[in-house]
Amino acid sequence: MNGKDKENEKEDAIGSGLAIGMSLGLIIGILMDNIALGVALGPVLGIALGAAYGKKEKERVRKK
């Protein structure tokens, strides 16, 4: 696996996390009756979770 493939995996994980975070943030915002707060917090949580998943996946690939 070359460097570009590894970078693409990380970007994919962050992108997926961002999409999931936006969805969850919107749902949380609707439930709390404060959509602006949910939309603001969703991407933050999504990027953090995506980065964590990308790091975990990178370590798993490295062990192989």
Q: How confident is the model at residue 31 (pLDDT cuts 50, 70, 90)?
A: very high
Q: How confident is the model at residue 6 (pLDDT cuts 50, 70, 90)?
A: low
Could you tell me which residues come within 8 angstroms of residue 51 by beta carbon, excluding any fewer than 6 positions away? 10, 13, 14, 17
Locate the domains of the chain by residue range. 3-63
pLDDT value of position 63: 76
Distance from C-alpha of 35 to C-alpha of 58, rounded to nearest angstrom: 34
Whether the full predicted model's pTM is greater than 0.85, yes or no, is no
Q: How confident is the model at residue 12 (pLDDT cuts 50, 70, 90)?
A: confident
